[in-house]
Amino acid sequence: MPETAFKRPIGIMFNTDRMSGIALVDFAKRLEDLTVNTIWVTELFGREPFATAGFLLARTEFIRVATGIANVYARDAVAAAAAGQTLTEFSGGRFVLGLGVSNSGLASQRGHVWEPPVKKLEMYIDKVKDSQITIPGDQATPLHVAAHGPKMLDMVIPKVDGVSTFLQTPLHTQNVKAQLADSTELNVSQMCLLCEDPHEARRLARKALAFYMTLEYYHRAWRKLGFSDQDFENGGSDALIDSLVAWGSRLDILTRIDEHHSAGATEVVVIPLNPEGGSHPHWPLINAITE
């Protein structure tokens, strides 16, 4: 890793499926030049994440590439383990296998029957860890799992190398960190918006959060952080929006990132929300937080 690497690591994650392959490689290389720690590859209804990760790993030198997240309904556990181990071997250990259950809506769209999420993920993790992958090399693939609720966290923490949280506050980061062993990484996703106009910033933030505002399991998590049902109405209260999305000036955004790091995050995974433009979206925000 170059000497200018962040003392407090930052990752980048957003839907890159609208970028061409050439643009995506250029994007990853520019992130690498900025010493961003990890690029997280999403799994939605576009590119296959393991193929995309392999494509990027072959064209970069230092940056980690992680699946963020690979949906456990999309492939069996042995296939995920084999893909992870293959990419770890070929990249010299720069791949991170990020897994999660996603949500019932996406599972249904894939043609799967939704199962109790804690049990589903527990069985999947166990099969990944127990799989017998016979390929050269003995470097293990880091296994990171998306979890934020207490039951899911209780299950995954003893089994994984890292925990990934989404749409949570620095208080939640502090609470999760208190449960982790020193060796377990904590990746905290943080939506960020470089916009100092409160009305416009909250409008864009509500647009980004609209889908998640309909999901009861996020409501349950936010209630534990002191929010009430009134905060989930009309696109979310200002207080809730402001706690979930870091908006404002460069300093405002860096302050929120630092709050997560101070609370125990190993890596803050920045999700840029600024409207896209040109072949390289979100550069004003990314440049602002990495300069």
Instruction: State percent of the chain over pLDDT 90.
Output: 83
| Chain position carrying tokens 């949500």 | 103
- 207 has a pLDDT exceeding 90: yes
Per-residue DSSP letter, 168: -
**pLDDT-based confidence at residue 276 (cuts at 50, 70, 90):** low
- 135 has a pLDDT exceeding 90: no
Class of domain 10-290: alpha beta
User: Residues 69-90: what's their mean pLDDT?
Assistant: 96
Q: Return the pLDDT at 7.
A: 58
| Full-model pTM | 0.94
Q: Return the pLDDT at 134.
A: 84
Q: Return the pLDDT at 3.
A: 40
Q: Locate the domains of the chain by residue range.
A: 10-290
d(Cα 8, Cα 181) in Å, to the nearest integer? 19
Q: Return the pLDDT at 277.
A: 53
User: Residues 52-63: what's their mean pLDDT?
Assistant: 98
Helix (H) or strand (E) holding 134: none
Tell the burial category of 127 from Cβ atoms under 10 Å away from its Cβ (0-12, 13-18, 19+). Answer: middle
